[in-house]
């Protein structure tokens, strides 16, 4: 396969949360026209692929992850024409665009569910997962939802229970029904024919449930984690990462492969041990193209932490598979604390072998915004409003986010009121982070900043085949705070990367070459070949 055909292996992705990105009409809510108006800025930054969280028709109970019609656009975000124009405008700039596809469930307002719920013998009854209870007030089995508590909801009218992996207003579709599968494949085809370059697949690993409907076994784990979806004292063997879901990845890949020029791609949101979730990618040609690897969301800022992450991903995602590097998204706490750590982490993210995902705002180091749980708009927080605020804050430190409003605050564009996200007199749908008057794109584009640091990294990654298409080899380390590796490519010079995760200066091995980048030096300055790394400094060296 040619390099071009496998563009998705070399790309860099930027996630847009449309509601929070840019409001073009002053109603306080970001919209599609707003994304279009900011494409030039994203192009100037140098990101290659955009992933937009859902803007399909939806009651917005989970802000778009509850779809009421997969083939129309929510009016607050724009029209079908706007969506088509967005695809075109992205392509006109030589960029790609990936839509979010929620296959697992619909909104309870979707016409299919309204029908399904209407009576036991409705033709759409079997499009969702309905079961008899075990007795009065007792659900069909002990299965827990991903958000905690039983995933079953009782429907009085038809005296049966329906299954919802996430929240009760998001009923799961029944993929054992061939009509459902065909319908969803056709929806995927519909968007691909409109030119969409691929999909991010929401909670993909929940799609198939076991047909036995037997109880899930007990587990001692109170809470799920990125690499172990068991939790709430239950092992999710019958509900998460079911063997049939791996099989389904192959079927979906075949649908995607019907579209050839250009090739399209799939990235799955899955949770589980790295050695297991790599199986979603099959042999690299017959499964999902990529899966999100979420361990990075919690990696400690140490050479050991990042080194172990690298080793684990390199082991389980050997070529032709490709790892992903994710440090934030619309569900997780924002990680950036200090500027120097942010720069170091971006250097790692853009020079490791893998597809990097940047969440909007990470290019300016946007900070996590602690907000009261009691007034949260996020429906997940609704479920946990009884938790005291101090505990919610403590959980964020552990990487668990109950109020996802905190990482979805409006993008900070400039020094104008409301940080230029919306008009001065409008009320943004979520409060801005208090540092918006100082931290914004306008200020960072014109100075030595995180934004320009990322821009430079993206340029280098594009320029150097070793960085976007090379293999990765760990270099021996002389210091506990030093992480170093090199990227090799048969047709291009080898590139070495050195990262100092500590407070001490580290002496580098003597070598020849050219220094292409340092996290500590403004772009315009000449870069002498370093013999030492300053605290938290990272450099890129091109070998002769």
- Nearer residue to Ca ion within complex by CB, 28 or 268: 28
Nearest CA among 220, 240, 213, 23 for reference residue 130: 213
Which H helix or E strand runs over 128?
A: none
For the question of residue 382 being annotated catalytic, the response is: no
Cα(177)–Cα(204) distance, rounded to whole angstroms?
17
Structure tokens at 302: 């140490």
Tokens 């995760």 correspond to 501
Residue of 65, 175, 280, 536 that binds ligand GLC (CB under 6 A): 65
Least distance CB 24 / Ca ion (angstroms)? 6
Which among Ca ion, ligand GLC, none contacts residue 27 (Cβ within 5 to 8 A by kind)? Ca ion
- The 3-state DSSP class for residue 123 equals coil
- Residue 427 C-beta: closest distance to Ca ion, Å: 12
Residue with tokens 């042999």, as numbered in its chain: 283
Sequence length of the chain is 544
User: Which lies closer to ligand GLC via its Cβ, residue 19 or residue 520?
Assistant: 19
Select 29 or 373, whichever has its Cβ closest to Ca ion. 29
Q: Return the residue nearest ligand GLC (CB atom).
A: 65
Per-residue contact flags (x/-) with Ca ion for residues 17 to 46, judged by CB under 5 A: ------x-x-x-x-x---------------
Among ligand GLC, Ca ion, none, what does residue 202 contact (CB within 5–8 Å per kind)? ligand GLC
Q: Which of 66, 100, 197, 269 is catalytic?
A: 269
Q: Is 331 an interacting residue with respect to ligand GLC (CB under 6 A)?
A: yes
Closest approach, Cβ 65 to ligand GLC, in A, equals: 3
What x-and-dash track marks residues 167-206 binding ligand GLC by CB under 6 A? Answer: ---x-------------------------------xx---
Is residue 330 involved in binding ligand GLC (CB under 6 A)?
yes
Binding mask 508-527 for ligand GLC (x = CB under 6 A): --------------------
* Shortest Å, Cβ 203 to ligand GLC: 5
Q: Which is nearer to ligand GLC, 62 or 76 (CB)?
A: 62
| CA trace torsion 433, 438, 442, 447 (10° rounding) | -130
Residue 204 phi, psi dihedral angles, 5° rounding: -60, -30
Bridge-based pairing of strands 265-268 and 290-291 is parallel
Binding positions for ligand GLC, 461-500, rule CB under 6 A = none
Catalytic residue, candidates 48, 62, 108, 202: 202
Q: Which is nearer to Ca ion, 30 or 151 (CB)?
A: 30
Which lies closer to Ca ion via its Cβ, residue 29 or residue 396? 29
Least distance in angstroms from the C-beta of 25 to Ca ion: 5
- Residue 382: φ, ψ to 5°: -50, -40
Select the binding partner of residue 29 from ligand GLC, Ca ion, none (C-beta < 5 to 8 A, by kind).
Ca ion
Q: Which is nearer to Ca ion, 86 or 277 (CB)?
A: 86
Q: Which of 35, 102, 240, 495 forms a contact with ligand GLC (CB under 6 A)?
A: 102
Question: Which tokens hold the place of 313?
Answer: 């991903």
Q: What one-character-per-residue DSSP string does 52-109 give? A: E---EE---TTTTSS-SEEEEE-TTT--HHHHHHHHHHHHHTT-EEEEEE--SB--TT
- Please identify which residue in 166, 175, 191, 248 interacts with ligand GLC, judged by CB under 6 A: 166
Check residue 184 for interaction with Ca ion (CB under 5 A): no
Is residue 107 within 8 A of residue 170, CB to CB? The reply is: yes
| Cα-Cα end-to-end distance for the chain | 30
92 is catalytic: no
3-class secondary-structure state, position 541: strand
Is position 421 an interface residue for ligand GLC (rule: CB under 6 A)?
no
- Rank residues 63 and 485 by Cβ distance to ligand GLC and give the closer one: 63
β-bridge partners, 152: 163
CB 75 within 8 A of CB 25: no
Residue 166 contact partner, candidates Ca ion, ligand GLC, none, CB within 5 to 8 A by sort of partner: ligand GLC
Sheet with 13-16, edge to edge strand ranges: 290-291, 265-268, 198-201, 96-101, 49-52, 13-16, 355-359, 324-326
The CA-atom distances, in angstroms, between 484 and each of 298, 426, 461 are: 20, 48, 17
Site string (264-293) toward ligand GLC, x via CB under 6 A: -----x------------------------
Compare residues 48 and 269 and give the one whose CB is closer to ligand GLC. Answer: 269
Strand pairing class (56-57; 49-52): unpaired
> Which of Ca ion, ligand GLC, none sits in contact with 62, Cβ below 5 to 8 A by type?
ligand GLC
CA pseudo-torsion sign 63, 67, 70, 76: negative
Residue 61 · residue 169 · CB < 8 Å: yes
The minimum distance between CB 385 and ligand GLC, in angstroms, equals 17
Residues 6+ apart with CB under 8 A from 257: 263
Phi, psi of 532 (to 5 degrees): -140, 150
In the set 23, 33, 62, 363, which binds ligand GLC (CB under 6 A)?
Answer: 62
Task: State the residues that interact with Ca ion by CB under 5 A.
Answer: 23, 25, 27, 29, 31
Which residues belong to the active site? 202, 269
Task: State the residues that interact with ligand GLC by CB under 6 A.
Answer: 62, 65, 102, 166, 170, 202-203, 269, 330-331
């Amino acid at each position: 396969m040619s390099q071009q055909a496998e563009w998705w292996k070399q790309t860099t992705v930027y996630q847009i949360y449309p509601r929070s990105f840019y409001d073009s009409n002053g109603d306080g809510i970001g919209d599609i026209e707003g994304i279009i108006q900011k494409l030039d800025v994203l192009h100037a930054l140098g990101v290659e692929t955009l992933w937009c969280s859902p803007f399909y028709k939806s009651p917005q109970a989970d802000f778009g992850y509850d779809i009421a019609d997969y083939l129309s656009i929510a009016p607050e975000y724009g029209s079908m024409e706007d969506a088509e124009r967005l695809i075109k405008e992205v392509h006109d700039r030589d960029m790609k665009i990936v839509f979010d596809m929620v296959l697992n469930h619909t909104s309870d307002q979707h016409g299919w569910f309204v029908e399904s719920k209407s009576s036991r013998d409705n033709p759409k009854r079997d499009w969702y997962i309905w079961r008899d209870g075990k007795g009065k007030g007792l659900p069909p089995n002990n299965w827990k939802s991903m958000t905690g508590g039983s995933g079953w909801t009782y429907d009085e009218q038809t005296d049966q229970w329906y299954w919802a992996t996430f929240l009760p207003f998001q009923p799961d579709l029944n993929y054992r029904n061939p009509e459902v599968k065909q319908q969803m494949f056709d929806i995927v085809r519909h968007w691909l024919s409109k030119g969409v370059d691929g999909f991010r697949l929401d909670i993909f690993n929940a799609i198939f449930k076991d047909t036995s409907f037997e109880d899930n076994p007990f587990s001692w784990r109170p809470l799920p984690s990125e690499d172990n979806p068991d939790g709430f004292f239950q092992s999710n063997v019958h509900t998460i990462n079911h063997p049939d879901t791996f099989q389904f990845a192959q079927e979906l890949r075949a649908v995607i492969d019907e579209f050839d020029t250009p090739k399209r791609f799939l990235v799955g949101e899955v949770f589980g041990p790295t050695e297991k979730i790599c199986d979603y990618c099959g042999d690299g040609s017959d499964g999902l193209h990529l899966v999100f690897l979420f361990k990075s969301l919690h990696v400690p800022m140490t050479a050991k932490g990042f080194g172990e992450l690298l080793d684990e991903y390199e082991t389980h995602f050997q070529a032709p598979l490709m790892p992903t590097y994710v440090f934030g998204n619309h569900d997780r706490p924002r990680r950036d604390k200090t500027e120097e750590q942010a720069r170091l982490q971006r250097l790692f993210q853009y020079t490791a072998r893998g597809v990097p995902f940047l969440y909007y705002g990470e290019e300016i180091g946007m900070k996590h915004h602690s907000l009261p749980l009691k007034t949260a708009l996020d429906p997940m927080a609704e479920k946990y409003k009884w938790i005291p605020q101090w505990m919610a804050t403590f959980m964020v430190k552990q990487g668990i986010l109950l109020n996802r409003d905190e990482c979805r605050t409006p993008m900070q564009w400039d020094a104008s009121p409301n940080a230029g996200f919306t008009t001065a007199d409008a009320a943004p749908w979520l409060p801005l982070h208090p540092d918006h008057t100082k931290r914004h794109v306008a200020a960072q584009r014109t100075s030595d900043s995180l934004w320009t640091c990322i821009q430079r990294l993206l340029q280098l990654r594009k320029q150097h085949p070793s960085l976007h298409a090379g293999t990765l080899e760990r270099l021996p380390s002389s210091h506990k705070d030093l992480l170093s590796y090199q990227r090799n490519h048969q047709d291009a010079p080898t590139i070495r990367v050195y990262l100092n995760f500590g407070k001490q200066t580290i002496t580098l091995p003597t070598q020849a070459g050219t220094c292409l980048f340092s996290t500590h030096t403004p772009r315009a300055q000449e870069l002498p070949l370093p013999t030492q790394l300053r605290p938290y400094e990272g450099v890129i060296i091109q070998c002769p």
